[in-house]
Amino acid sequence: MGAKRCAPKRLGRWVSITRCWGALCAVGLGAWLAYGCGGKATPVADVDEVRAELQPPACGVDEVREYRCDALLPRTSALPAPEPYETCPSALEVRDAMFPPASGAGRFDAERTELMRRRARPGMQCCYSWCGKLSVVDPGVVVDRCKDPLAFHESYCIAELESGTKGGTAAPPYSACPSAIKPPEGASFSVPPGALLDVNQTAQRRKAREALCCYDWCSHAPPGTALERGR
């Protein structure tokens, strides 16, 4: 009979202990979650968001990235770039685009900024980039004018395309380059219908670790120029 009377007490004691441990675990879990939410550790989503702010989104198909770097910008801005580049504005008005820009503003470009700061010490450059509409043409429309009188060589390099092209591409290892483009007006004395990829010049720029696609063509000097008198 004694044993039967003691059993409920022991059972009640174990229930109380179990409840106590459960309460402590709940408090500990709550404290751990609170620290995790309020601590200094940055959630993965926030890290990804910061990276996205530092690097502009990829350009679209048949769009080329253009850049502008400036070391004479105001040191403070109402909308600064993310840390550690808060001395740079987060955006800049596009004024010197060679290709029609997709928007009127260039976004802060951390990768380009770091590259230019390493090249030009003490590194005060702030760099911005935007996407311009590229005119990709059929290589068949390219006309060789280099043998004509008054012809002279011109060239222009663009960044390799980030999202490809609907037109033809050059052979590997330059498959990110269109095989032919229409040069921009600001880079040509007389804009030809098209210009072919200059493989040699592109290879030279790639040796310098510049992911560029270079194009070459010939423009015509107007009659009566020094070039004509020199022939």
Could you tell me which residue, 103 or 25, shows the higher pLDDT?
103
Average pLDDT of 184-203?
A: 93
Residue 147's pLDDT is 87
Query: Which of 191, 5, 186 is CA-nearest to residue 97?
Result: 186
pLDDT reading at 154 higher than 90: yes
Could you tell me which residue, 70 or 47, shows the higher pLDDT?
70
Residue 133's pLDDT is 97
Q: Give the pLDDT confidence of 118-137 residue by residue, as tens digits.
A: 988 777 899 999 999 999 99
User: Among 24-38, 170-184, 212-226, where is mean pLDDT lowest?
Assistant: 24-38
CA atoms within 13 A on the CB side of 160: 16
* E-state strands within 87-223: 91-93, 105-108, 126-133, 151-159, 180-181, 195-197, 212-220
